[in-house]
Amino acid sequence: AEQQRLKDIFLETMLYHQNLEQNSRVSVEDEIRGLGKPKNEAIRLFVMHVRQVLQLNPRQVARLRELSRLNDSSHLSRLGLLYQSIYRGWARQRTVILGLQYALSIFVLIFLGRTVRKLNQTFAQLQSVNLDLEERVRERTGSLEESHRMQESIQAELARAQRLESIGHLAAGIAHEINTPIQFVGDNTRFVRDSFEELDRLLDDLERRLGEPVRSALEEGDYPFLQKEIPLSIDQSLDGLGRVAEIVRSLKAFSHPGGQDKSQADLNEMVRTTVTLARNEWRYVAEVQLELEDSLPRTPCYASDLNQVLLNLLVNAAHAIHDKLGTDPASKGVIGIQTRCHNDCVEILVRDSGVGMNSTIRERIFDPFFTTKEVGRGTGQGLSIAYDIVVNKHGGRLLCESEPGQGTCFIVALPMLAA
């Protein structure tokens, strides 16, 4: 009966499509409502298609003709199976698609996570590189500033050296010009001394021959006083002229520019010359004690440069003693200068009884521009220049031994054989 009703519904549907009568449409809809709720999937699909057919226009008649083959239960069963197969295939495809979507989402999340992690790592690396670059820029800027300051100091020192060189040439010229007048002043003074001795003998002879009248005349002219004081004055004048001559000779020797090659020099004479020229630096604070080896061989050196080294060491020694004793010392310190042969070197030792140095200062004394003196007493270049002259220019050694409060000893060691 159910199959017959389905068949009737189908025929009514075809009739409606052919005639397009409203009564046929109403009849089909009544039959469909009479079926109630379909009991299986095939009937449900049939009803769904019938309702679609009721809504078709004449151009879709071909589809209804295709449905005419569903007029028996076997066709309906096969149609239901076909629809079920399509539905299951679609469900499987939907599951696969959802799985692919989930997999793609997980892949995207993993990719995004790795990308974010790499971006964070890259950002951290960029920050590190940026900090490193900033530190390098600061270091380079500081280095450039320090180089600029050193360049300015070197330029100032060079200008000072050029001025000193000009002063040295001027001093050499002045010393040369002074030397000639001093010579004839000394000769004339000695002539006066010798002449006075002759005159004194002549007056003594006259006094013996003429007796009392000459003696009375000499006493009235205060001759006994003059006879005693004039020789002393002449001797003092000759002594002063001798000192001036010695200073002139030292000045000429010290200001001599020297040659480009080393020459054999008398280190003992160089020490004496330096002590004479620096007398004004040490005479008020120290006594200078010389211990010079008489058999010291002549040494190959740049005499002018070595004179500068000795002068720097002697002036530093005087300043160290001054710092220890103060501006008005009750007693003087001692500066000792010794020359000696030691192994294959000739050594000059300059000792002082000054303030001495601790290990921190001692390690830096040869650094350029390092000084412990107040502004105006030094540039911090003296010992640096001395080290360069002794070590780099002469191939020697410049050593320092010092203890706080015990004084300092500088040792200049020069090789006996020219390098």
pLDDT exceeds 60 at position 377: no
377/319 Cα distance (integer angstroms): 9
Do the Cβ atoms of 31 and 5 come closer than 8 Å?
yes
Q: What is the mean pLDDT of residues 263-290?
A: 89
Going by pLDDT thresholds of 50, 70 and 90, the confidence category of residue 217 is: confident
282/335 Cα distance (integer angstroms): 9
Between CA 328 and CA 272, with CA 318 as vertex, the angle to 5 degrees is 130
Do the Cβ atoms of 2 and 18 come closer than 8 Å?
no
The 10s digit of each residue's pLDDT in 121-177 is 888 888 888 888 888 888 888 888 887 777 776 676 566 555 555 555 556 666 666
pTM over 0.75: no
Enter the tokens of residue 208: 């013996």
pLDDT exceeds 60 at position 216: yes
Going by pLDDT thresholds of 50, 70 and 90, the confidence category of residue 244 is: confident
The 10s digit of each residue's pLDDT in 24-55 is 677 777 777 777 777 777 777 777 777 776 66
Spatial CA neighbour of 76 closest among 105, 97, 48, 96: 48
The CATH number that domain 261-419 falls under is: 3.30.565.10
Going by pLDDT thresholds of 50, 70 and 90, the confidence category of residue 376 is: very low
Among 138-142, 184-188, 331-335, whose mean pLDDT is lowest? 184-188
The 10s digit of each residue's pLDDT in 5-15 is 777 777 777 77
Mapped onto helix, strand or coil, the DSSP state of residue 163 is helix
Spatial CA neighbour of 306 closest among 200, 374, 385: 385
Do the Cβ atoms of 53 and 23 come closer than 8 Å?
no
Distances (CA, A) of 130 to 119, 126, 142, 215: 16, 6, 18, 107
Residue tagged 């010392």 (tokens): 329
pLDDT at 348: 94
Enter the tokens of residue 71: 């007029």
pLDDT at 17: 63
Most confident range, picked from 90-104, 109-123, 362-376? 109-123
Task: Please tell me which residue, 44 or 357, carries the higher pLDDT value.
Answer: 357
pLDDT exceeds 70 at position 226: yes
Classify burial at 339, counting beta carbons within 10 Å of its beta carbon; exposed 0-12, middle 13-18, buried 19 or more.
Answer: buried
Going by pLDDT thresholds of 50, 70 and 90, the confidence category of residue 336 is: very high
Do the Cβ atoms of 273 and 308 come closer than 8 Å?
no
* CATH 3.30.565.10-classified regions of the chain: 261-419
Computed over every residue of the chain, the mean pLDDT equals: 77
Torsion, CA 399, CA 411, CA 367, CA 161, rounded to 10: -160
197/279 Cα distance (integer angstroms): 35
Going by pLDDT thresholds of 50, 70 and 90, the confidence category of residue 184 is: confident
